[in-house]
Amino acid sequence: MDENLLIIEDDAHTLDILITCLTERNCQVKTAKNKKAGLLEITSFHPSVVIVNADMPGGIGLPEEIRTHDPDMLIMVMSRSENMDRVMNELKYQAAEFISKPVNPIALEIALNRTENFLRTRRALKECEESTEKNREKIETERFLTVRQVVDNISLIIAKTAKDVQGGIRYFNEMPYFLSIHSRDGKVLTSNPTYKKYLGNRIHGNSWDIYTGAYATPVACPISKTIRTENVMTTRAVVRYQSGARVPVIVHTAPIFNNDGEVELILEVFAGTKEIDRMSHEIKTTQQRYQQLFDAVPCYVVVLDMKLRVAALNQRCKEDFGDQKGRVFSDVFKLLPPADDGSPIDRTLHDGLPHQSEVMLISPGGEEYKVLVWTSPIKTAAGKLIQILAIFADITELRKLQDNLCSLGLMMGTLSHNLKGSLTGLDAGLYMIDSGFYRDRPGRIEEGLDVAKLMVERVRRLVHDILYYSKEREIRLEEREVLQFASDVSSNIETRIRGANIEFRCDFAHDVGKIEIDPELIRAALNNILENAMEACIEDASGKSHRIEFKAIPDRDAVVFEIRDNGSGMDKNQIRNMFTLFYSSKGHRGTGLGMFIAHNVIRKHGGEISASSEPGKGTHFYIRLPRKVADTRHHNYSDS
């Protein structure tokens, strides 16, 4: 790689790897540790290639500044793997290559090879353009002689073809057009069977005898005009079949020169305009049928050329991703194959064989699709690969269904475990009640009743969660005073919270006003969050005093509920997945339905819910509900 190369990198370890990989290449390398030093080196060193660390201060905007100095400079951008998607999206039109950090020497070597090939090709193209400009006058001078030499040899080719009985005459005779060769004195020398079938055997006859009207003379017929002008000509005329029928035709005549540069023969080719129209219609109909079949495929179908540019795509692909014809596939879509496998498109391009794989397809808009992709080579009759057909079947919903079925199985196991535990507790409570009556011990009876009530409440919650998830339910809106509603919610759970030795603070604004809600669903959602807060405080083993805060605050055309605890808290993964169906941070003690249902209930009211938390410091829930629900006609609870 005989080039000047500049590395702008502030990490010494990465710089060592890059320099080590470049030592075996015949190139001059300079380095800069920051943006300012890099721009100074560009103006003095004039590198062909610049490697930039997009993660360092000012690195993301550096490619654009570099291009202001030299638009043709090739830029290779490095970034950490977790930042690569963002960097590629911002710099996709400015960078020639993207390299993930930590740098893989093999991947770097491949990227440098591609860059080297690009530079070599660009340099050759530039040299070709300069050479073409210098030799333009010479080409213009020689053009006529070159064409003349080609035409001069047509007579030799025809003569050779005529001698090849097994090939030339057979192919010449089977052509579907009227073909004939004429002498310069206007005589038919030979013709193909189609000519003889419809026009008769006119060997040694006059060239103009087949025409009618103005062209049926020695001077005006197409053959005579071509002899005089020595040019290829196209003429609309009318010929008379031997049956007497008059047929309009388009006649093409071309001179055939001898070695002295004189017109010796004239090639005449024509077909009836009706036949041409019929063939054109058949071709158009065939193309339409092909396009209909192409567009009817219920998958995404893309045809790529050898540079992996989109040559064609079916209608469904256009509808979902736009007409990307002519663009490089990797500039539009991103394929994420399995770690141990390459892209099927790249493999087919490499070995010319069909391949298939399950990959993640990222669309131009950033949407992720789980797809099965099949690639098939499109080859010439000689076996040369000219295009690649890629078919993508979207299995995103199928994979989600499989995941949900797995989660459903896990949930059923969890429900069974919870029901079994609750029933065991209920048995224990009934036993205590029974033994209390038998021994006349009121305290034991009261204790048994408490246990039984607790177990019944657990079963009730479990059954309600399952019913809410499994059955569609339209929200039934009622106008309620927020202060009264919030007080009712707090009073239902206050005894249990204080019984667990947890401080419970309620702060409801007196001017909070009214709200339009489904009281039953919103009460269940808030109860679920409050019970989770209570359990988080109970589970916290830090020994600190615990408290739960419940607030209702007016917010213009909405009402905000806040629930805050200082319990065990949650990590980032738990926060990210807490509203996901069947996900529970409690392990076998949770169903994974409660927070999912609360999230959907609030969303169906046109509201929003968010949570922030930190392990050991507690959790803060923020629920915002509009005072009026816009439209409830399609607000079924089970929609997700």
pLDDT average, residue stretch 87-95 = 86
4-8 and 28-32 as β-strands: parallel, antiparallel, unpaired? parallel
* Block residue for tokens 């033994």: 435
Per DSSP, 328 falls in state B
d(CA 512, CA 608): 18
pLDDT average, residue stretch 406-420 = 57
Per-residue pLDDT at 141:
47
Higher pLDDT, 455 or 65: 65
At residue 149 the predicted structure's pLDDT band, cuts being 50, 70 and 90, is: very low
What number of residues does the chain have?
640
355-362 and 368-379 as β-strands: parallel, antiparallel, unpaired? antiparallel
Strands (E), 258-352: 263-272, 300-305, 310-313, 334-336
Q: For the chain, give the mean pLDDT.
A: 79
Q: Which fold would CATH assign to domain 478-626? A: Heat Shock Protein 90 (3.30.565)
What share of the chain in percent tops pLDDT 70? 78
pLDDT average, residue stretch 577-602 = 67
| Contact (CB, 8 A) for 51 and 74 | no
| Contact (CB, 8 A) for 100 and 84 | yes
CATH number of 4-133: 3.40.50.2300
Q: pTM for this one?
A: 0.35
At residue 26 the predicted structure's pLDDT band, cuts being 50, 70 and 90, is: confident
CATH number of 151-278: 3.30.450.20
| Contact (CB, 8 A) for 504 and 467 | no
What share of the chain in percent tops pLDDT 90? 17
Residues pairing with 49 in the sheet: 5, 74
Residues pairing with 238 in the sheet: 248
* Block residue for tokens 């064609």: 312
User: Has residue 622 got a pLDDT over 50?
Assistant: yes
Per-residue pLDDT at 154:
42
- Say which amino acid occupies 595: M
The three-class DSSP label of residue 387 is strand
Higher pLDDT, 422 or 323: 323
Give the phi and the psi of residue 619 in degrees, each rounded to 5: -135, 145
Closest among 223, 224, 277 to 247, alpha carbons compared = 277
CATH architecture of the domain 297-394 equals: 2-Layer Sandwich (3.30)
